[in-house]
Structure formats: C-alpha cells, structure tokens
C-alpha cells in the first residue's frame, strides 16, 4: 500500500489540482494498479505556466538567506520522510527499498548543499583600466525553469535540478516521468510544508509529455530547460528549445566502460564492478556497460565477478533482503533479453543468470563478447554485464573511447601514473579511479559527446541557473 498522504493530484499554484482526467499507475513487478494519478493536459499546463511566471517575479526578489531557509527545512523534511519516499519508489518503479533509502539521502544531499550555497552567490569586481569607471559582475537568476525528470532516480533527479534552481532564485515547473509521478508529488508536498511559496515548484504528471512540454518550450518567458533522459528525446528537446534560445541542461544516455588493470586490487575491483553495474538493477546512465579486464587477471576476475553476481538477491522491492527488483516495465525487460540473445547468437558465453520472468531479469554475466554485439554499443539499462579482455593500456583507452557516449568511466589500478594518463585520456565527464560510485551532490555530474550538455551538482549546478551580468559605472 502507498503511504498515507501520497498526493495523486497535480501541484499547481500551491494547490492540489484535479486534472480533467486521470491515468492508472501500475506496479512494475505485479502489474497491479497502484493509483489513479492526475493526467495534466495542455490547457491545464498553460494555467500552471501563468502561475509560475507570476511567482517568479516574487521568488527572485527573496533574499538568498530566505530562499536557503526554505530549502533547509525541505531538506529536513525529506530526511524525516525517508521511509515513505523509499516505499513509494519501490512501489512505483521497483527500486529495492534499501536502495531507495540511499537514494533519499542522496536526494536530500542536493537540497542541503544548495540551501547553504544560496548565501554564497558572489559577484566579482574588475580593476578598471579607465579611472572614471568601476566595473563589476553580478549574478541573476536565469528565470523560470521547465524540468523533465526520469523514473530511474525519481527523488534525486528532482532535487538535483529543483534545489539549485530554487536556491538561485528561479521557479520550477517539473514534469516527472509517467512511471514515477508519485515520488515527485510527495517531494512537492514536502516543499509546500517547508514553506515554499505557491508556484515556485509545480509538478505536472501527464501521459501527454509532448503536448504539455510544448506549452513550456514554445513560451519565451521560460528561460531554461533541464532534462534527464534518453539521447533521442534530448536531441528533440534541444531543437525545440533553440527557437526561444533557452538555457539548456541535458543529462542523456551513457555507456560506461569499467577497466580493470593487471595491478588492480581484484577483490575491491570486483565489488566496485558489482556496484557500478547493478546499482538500481543496471538502470542508471552511469552503469558500467562494458567491463574490460587485463588478460593477466581476466579469468580470475570473471570467475569472482560471476560468483558474486550469482549471490545477488532478486525479488520483491519491498523485501529488505532484495538487491535486484523488477525492471521498470515489460519493454525494458524485453530490451535486456534482446541484448542477451544477440550477444549469445554472436558467440558470447553466458557465465550465469539471464532468465526472465515478467519484468524480472536474473543478473547475468557474459564473457568473450564479440565487438559486434549490440550490448557493446547501445545502452542496455538492465542487469547484464559483458566482460572483455585487453592487453595494453592504449588498447583499453581506445576501446573505452570508441563510443558516441561520454558520461562516466571507471578504472582500477594501483599505478598512479597510469591513473592520471587514463583520467586525462578518457573522453568522459566523470572518471572513477578505484571508485565504483563517484556520484555525490557536491561534484559535477554530466557528460561529453551524445551524453549531453552542462553539469549538475556542486557549484557548477548552481552556476547553471545564474546569468552573468556585467555592470559598468561611470563615477565622474
Ligand atoms: C542517472 O542514472 O541518471 C543518475 C545516476 C547518479 O546520479 O549517480
């Protein structure tokens, strides 16, 4: 059952609004109906847009300290509500409850960081070459923001976007993924409880993402689009946002390489590869999708890895023991199955797992995967780990970079020189050196190439919602 007080209405202008119709949200594991959720249409979206524009004029004038205080209270409330939030995620998108709790802490971390940083939006003075002038740079909120968030991290992706925007003095209207609207609505309820002014954060669940998004994308008063999702959708949004020259942040697909060198601490590298690959059942943009292991340790690594993967507990996301829940829907499970079959048909060897039951797929390990296999090119977004071997550092670097994506990469070595050479050579926005989980609210998250534009997190995430304004004053 859903926690008490889980909102199902849209959150518009500080009110819980019943949309003209609703849609049925279903559990990914059983397919059972979970809730009837407001299904916002374009007309309702236009009302939300007007409310946001009005609220924006007010919110941007609040002092940074006042904005930070609301964010601080929001942070505390999110932590107090960790249990219901984790439960909602388990029910609506299948995240194992113990992983859901970790996500809540991660999500709250963004709010805490930006509550503090709101007070540190400093400007700059520039020594003037003209004695009659004084030059300075001040920072201003970019203006009203439209945000689109994915289902795989339904709490953290909301706060990673909304917290810096709100701290900077921007208002946010957010369209959550159809698969996970309840987490976003619950977070909005906590924002309201924290004292968030009406229409500073609005949430519009909808089964018409194109129609609702068009309202915001075509309006020149919306000054920024921030999106996390697939590269294909990101490209369309980029083109749409160009017409009104919106500021843009796109966190798109990834295809992370995980490289274990011959001098790696084998035990730690295996444990980190499990985290990097199977966190959230492999449904992460930073998931290790290609595991390259030096020939000298390949067999020992593959054996230990397959053994550890075989111990992962698959099951009910509400069960405390579960480590791998269902995939988000049948289409996701079918894609994983197709990648597995394609690799096997091309000659890969299955070291374990891979059976599918509805939306559940047993975590699988593939060895001797040929370079032509789809799994080495496309994002699998599921619990299958292909292992390949290499001999030389340059070969590993070339294979890792031979991808149109450039979000995250991982490498394991005790050789400091190699760690630096590889970190500098990898064409990825995030590099984990002996670290299978580099994500943190205080560091930049984002990618190169088809993985997107811009960075979220840390001071970079705040800068993304600020305009730089140069002021020149003649003093004579
Ligand atoms: C993502 O998969 O989009 C987010 C993962 C993370 O923040 O580590």
- Per-residue pLDDT tens digits for 303-313: 999 999 999 99
Answer whether 451 contacts ligand 1 (Cβ < 6 A). no
Taking every pair of C-alpha atoms in the chain, what is the biggest distance, in angstroms? 79
Pocket test for ligand 1, best of 108, 231, 284, 405 (most atoms within 8 A of CB): 284
How many other CB atoms sit within 10 Å of the CB of residue 239?
Answer: 10
> Which is the closest atom of ligand 1 to the Cα of 106?
7
Mean pLDDT of 59-88: 98
Query: Could you tell me which residues are beta bridge partners of residue 23?
Result: 37
**CA 445 – ligand 1 centroid, Å:** 8
Contact 41, 19 (CB under 8 A): yes
Confidence of residue 20 (pLDDT cuts 50, 70, 90): confident
**Measured distance CA(159)–CA(143) in Å, rounded:** 18
Superfamily of structural domain 10-252+451-472:
Aldehyde Dehydrogenase; Chain A, domain 1 (3.40.605.10)
Answer whether 324 contacts ligand 1 (Cβ < 6 A). no
Answer whether 439 contacts ligand 1 (Cβ < 6 A). yes
CATH class of 256-439: alpha beta
**CA 378 – ligand 1 centroid, Å:** 17
pLDDT at 147 over 80: yes
**Measured distance CA(442)–CA(6) in Å, rounded:** 30
Pocket test for ligand 1, best of 156, 281, 440, 446 (most atoms within 8 A of CB): 156
pLDDT at 167 over 80: yes
pLDDT at 439 over 80: yes
Specify whether 170 is catalytic: no
DSSP letter (8 states) at residue 176:
E
- The pLDDT value recorded for residue 245 is 98
- pTM beyond 0.95: the answer is yes
- The pLDDT value recorded for residue 164 is 98
Q: Any idea what the Cα angle at residue 256 is, between residues 251 and 99, rounded to 5°?
A: 75
pLDDT at 152 over 80: yes
pLDDT at 18 over 90: no
- The pLDDT value recorded for residue 434 is 98
Query: Could you tell me which residues are beta bridge partners of residue 291?
Result: 258, 387
> Which is the closest atom of ligand 1 to the Cα of 160?
7
Answer whether 413 contacts ligand 1 (Cβ < 6 A). no
Pocket test for ligand 1, best of 148, 154, 157 (most atoms within 8 A of CB): 157
- The pLDDT value recorded for residue 433 is 98
Answer whether 285 contacts ligand 1 (Cβ < 6 A). yes
- The pLDDT value recorded for residue 471 is 98
The mean pLDDT value of the chain amounts to 98
- Residue with the smallest CA separation from ligand 1 atom 5 is 284
Confidence of residue 450 (pLDDT cuts 50, 70, 90): very high
**CA 161 – ligand 1 centroid, Å:** 12
> Which is the closest atom of ligand 1 to the Cα of 254?
2
Confidence of residue 11 (pLDDT cuts 50, 70, 90): very high
Percentage of the chain modeled with pLDDT above 90: 99
pLDDT at 232 over 80: yes
**Measured distance CA(176)–CA(199) in Å, rounded:** 16
- Per-residue pLDDT tens digits for 43-57: 999 999 999 999 999
pLDDT at 19 over 80: no
- Per-residue pLDDT tens digits for 378-425: 999 999 999 999 999 999 999 999 999 999 999 999 999 999 999 999
Give the start-to-end residue ranges of the domains of the chain. Answer: 10-252+451-472, 256-439
- Per-residue pLDDT tens digits for 108-133: 999 999 999 999 999 999 999 999 99
Q: What are phi and psi of 338, to 5 degrees?
A: -65, -40
- Cα–Cα distances (Å) from 439 to 221, 273, 406, 421, in that order, read 33, 15, 15, 22
């Amino acid at each position: 059952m859903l926690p008490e007080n889980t909102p199902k209405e849209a959150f518009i202008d500080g009110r819980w609004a019943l949309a003209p119709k609703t849609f049925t949200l279903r559990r990914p594991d059983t397919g059972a109906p979970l809730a009837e959720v407001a299904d916002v249409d374009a007309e309702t979206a236009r009302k939300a847009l007007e409310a946001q524009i009005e609220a924006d004029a007010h919110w941007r004038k609040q002092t940074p300290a006042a904005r930070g205080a609301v964010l601080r209270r929001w942070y505390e409330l999110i932590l107090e509500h960790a249990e219901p939030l984790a439960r909602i995620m388990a029910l609506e998108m299948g995240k194992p409850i113990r992983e859901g709790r970790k996500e809540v802490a991660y999500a709250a971390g963004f709010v805490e960081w930006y509550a503090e940083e709101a007070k540190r939006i400093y400007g700059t003075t520039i020594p003037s070459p003209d004695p009659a002038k004084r030059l300075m740079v001040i920072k201003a909120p970019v203006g009203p923001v439209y945000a689109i968030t994915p289902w795989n991290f339904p709490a953290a992706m909301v706060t990673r976007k909304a917290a810096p925007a709100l701290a900077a003095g921007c208002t946010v209207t957010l369209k959550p993924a159809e698969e996970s609207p309840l987490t976003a609505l619950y977070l909005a309820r906590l924002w309201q409880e924290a004292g968030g002014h009406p229409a500073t954060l609005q949430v519009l669940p909808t089964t018409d993402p194109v129609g609702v998004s068009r309202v915001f994308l075509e309006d020149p008063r919306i000054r920024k689009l921030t999106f996390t999702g697939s590269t294909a959708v990101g490209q369309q949004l980029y083109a749409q946002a160009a017409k009104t020259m919106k500021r843009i942040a796109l966190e798109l697909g990834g295809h992370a390489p995980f490289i274990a060198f011959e001098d790696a601490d084998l035990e730690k590298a295996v444990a980190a590869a499990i985290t990097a690959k199977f966190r959230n059942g492999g449904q992460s943009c930073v998931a290790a999708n290609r595991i390259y292991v030096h020939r000298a340790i390949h067999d020992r690594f593959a054996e230990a890895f397959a053994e550890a993967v075989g111990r992962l507990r698959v099951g009910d996301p509400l069960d405390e023991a579960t480590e791998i829940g269902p995939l988000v829907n049948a289409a996701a499970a079918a894609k994983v199955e197709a990648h597995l079959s394609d690799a096997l048909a091309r000659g890969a060897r299955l070291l374990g797992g891979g059976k599918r039951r509805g939306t559940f797929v047993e975590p699988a390990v593939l060895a001797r995967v040929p370079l032509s296999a789809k799994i080495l090119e496309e994002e699998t977004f599921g619990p299958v780990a292909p292992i390949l071997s290499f001999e030389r550092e340059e070969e590993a670097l070339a294979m890792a970079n031979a991808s149109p994506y450039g979000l995250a990469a991982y490498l394991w070595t005790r050789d400091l020189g190699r760690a630096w050479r590889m970190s500098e050579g990898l064409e990825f926005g995030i590099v984990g050196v002996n670290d299978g989980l580099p994500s943190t609210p205080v560091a930049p998250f984002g990618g190169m190439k088809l993985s997107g534009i811009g960075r979220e997190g840390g001071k970079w995430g705040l800068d993304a919602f600020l305009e730089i304004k140069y002021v020149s004053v003649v003093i004579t």
